Each structure stands twice: as C-alpha cells, then as structure tokens.
Amino acid sequence: MNTRYRKTIIAGNWKMNKTLTETRAFAEELKPILGRPKWCEVVLCVPFVNLQAAGRLFKDAKVSIGAENCHYESSGAFTGEVSAEMLKDLGVKYVVIGHSERRQYYNETDFTVNKKVKAALDNGLRPIVCVGESLEQRELGVTLELITYQVKCALAGVPAEKMRHVVFAYEPIWAIGTGKTATAQEAQEVCQTIRTIIRKLYGARVARAVTIQYGGSMNAANAYELLSQPDIDGGLIGGASLKADQLVEIVNAANQE
Ligand code: PEP
C-alpha cells in the first residue's frame, strides 16, 4: 500500500449471496465492530436486488455500496440487464467489471469489459476492473503478457482525466474461492506490472494514483502480508466478506500500515 498517493480500498464481493433479511442482519453486526476506518475505504458489492436497501442500511456507516456488474448500454431491449445509469441513480458508487465468474459463465470478453468500463465512467461510477490468469496460463508462463493484454483492452479509449476513478483488481482465477492464495511476491509482481502498463499509457502521475487490489482467498491471516506490498492497495474479497468479523479483521490489517 502507499496511502500517500492513493486510496486503499477493501471491497467485499458478495456474489449471489445474502437475502435482504441476511443483509439487514449483516449490517447490524458489522456497524458496531467496524468503527470508522481511517486509512481505507470499505465497499460492499451486493446483488442488484439489495443495492437500495444496502444504501439505506449503511448510510450511517463508513461503507460505500457497489454493484457486481452492469450493462454497457444505457437503456433498451436487454431483458434482465441493469445499466450503469440505473445504478448511479440508486446511489451506487462502485461496480465490479469483468469478474472471472462473469467471463467464465456469461461470455464476458475483454471487448465487453472495455465497453462496460466506459459506461461506468460516463455515468459517474467507479469500475473495479478484474483481471487475472488461469492456472494453465500461469504454468505456461504467460501471466504478465495476458495481464498486459487485459489491462490495455479494458482501458482502450479511457481518457487520462477519468483514470483516478478506475480501480483494478488482480484476481488469479486459480485463487478465487479455492483457499489458495497467490504469494505476496506473486501478487506484487502482477500488481506492479499493472501499474507499469498504466504508467506507459498515461504517465507516472496517473499511475501512482490508481488503486490496485489483490483478490483470491484473501482472509484475516494473509491480508497483512499482501497489503504490505508496495503496489497492493487493497483487496477484493469474496468468501471472507460474508462474515462481518472476518471483514473487519481484513480492514484492520489495512489500517495497520
Ligand atoms: C472474488 O469473488 O472476487 C474473490 C476473490 O473470492 P474469494 O475471496 O472467495 O476467493
């Protein structure tokens, strides 16, 4: 982390978990133990149907609300989809774009990721752009090339002045929901590469201000070491973000720096 130049962001990705009733119970449990973290922003990315309630439930807490996806068009005949404009109108601040589960199960491509990133930014949302390699790609030794390609595609046509709203999440697919975590060195190498690509595209000032998270089985036990790396500015957290006490332990690890 480098809190001098950029914001540390601890974001929970709830995926398709928690009913409205469970979201209410989580808020009751989280708020008294979270306090008001000084060095990091806490974000909860929740299912569409609970966004509005989450906004109300966490209004008096230091928690921002995010969605887990959006469509790239602002309106039209796209049954079942939700636009960035609709999210903004609900008071949502962040949106996860290109999560590997969406790439794997819903045909998300680098091309649609790019369109969604631009739609999010055009509507005043902060995209959390997920990139990451599969185990086969890591074993083939093409991780950094792949990440370079994904980051360049995601940012095509994004102007420098909007870059301060963009967050990247490096999420090795083999580490998501598996209990396997990248070592701090592996995660740092890729996060540093992401920053280098941004520097080549936009210059050093822009690059040093971009928040780059690590995601993939981050938990209370490994968070501090990961977050101590110079280019890891937070976490995108699935499983551990579903338990209020575990999320707070990760936030506390981010606040120790
Ligand atoms: C994720 O959903 O983005 C994620 C990193 O999940 P987990 O923390 O459960 O690996």
**Catalytic residue selected from 41, 68, 71, 99:** 99
Q: Give me the percent of the chain exceeding a pLDDT of 70.
A: 100
**CA-to-CA distance for 157 and 245, rounded, in angstroms?**
40
71 catalytic? Reply is no
Nearest alpha carbon, ligand 1 atom 2: 238
99 catalytic? Reply is yes
Output the pTM of the full model: 0.97
Q: Which atom of ligand 1 is the closest one to the Cα of 100?
A: 3
Type of residue numbered 179: G
Residues 6+ apart with CB under 8 A from 24: 53, 57
- Whole-number Å distance, alpha carbon 236 to ligand 1 midpoint, is 7
- Residue 177 has a pLDDT of 86
According to DSSP, the residues that pair with 94 across neighbouring strands are: 66, 126
Distances (CA, A) of 143 to 98, 129, 193, 234, 236: 17, 17, 10, 21, 19
Looking at the chain, how many residues does it have? Answer: 257
Q: Which atom of ligand 1 is the closest one to the Cα of 176?
A: 10
pLDDT bracket for residue 37 (50, 70, 90): confident
Q: Which atom of ligand 1 is the closest one to the Cα of 130?
A: 3
Mean pLDDT of the chain: 96
- Residue 257 has a pLDDT of 55
Strands (DSSP E) along 2-89, which ranges? 8-13, 40-45, 63-67
- Residue 256 has a pLDDT of 77
Could you tell me if 129 and 166 are in contact, meaning their C-beta atoms sit under 8 angstroms apart?
Answer: yes
Residues 6+ apart with CB under 8 A from 102: 69, 108
Q: Is the pLDDT of residue 29 over 80?
A: yes
Q: Which of 96, 171, 173 to mutate to test the pocket of ligand 1 (most atoms within 8 A of CB)?
A: 171
Would you list the DSSP string of 159-197? -GGGGGG-EEEE--GGGTTTS----HHHHHHHHHHHHHH
According to DSSP, the residues that pair with 44 across neighbouring strands are: 12, 65
- Residue 2 has a pLDDT of 82
- Whole-number Å distance, alpha carbon 198 to ligand 1 midpoint, is 24
According to DSSP, residue 239 is labeled: G
- Residue 39 has a pLDDT of 85
Could you tell me if 43 and 94 are in contact, meaning their C-beta atoms sit under 8 angstroms apart?
Answer: yes
- Whole-number Å distance, alpha carbon 203 to ligand 1 midpoint, is 31
Nearest alpha carbon, ligand 1 atom 6: 238
- Whole-number Å distance, alpha carbon 241 to ligand 1 midpoint, is 9
Average pLDDT rounded to a whole number, residues 211-238: 97
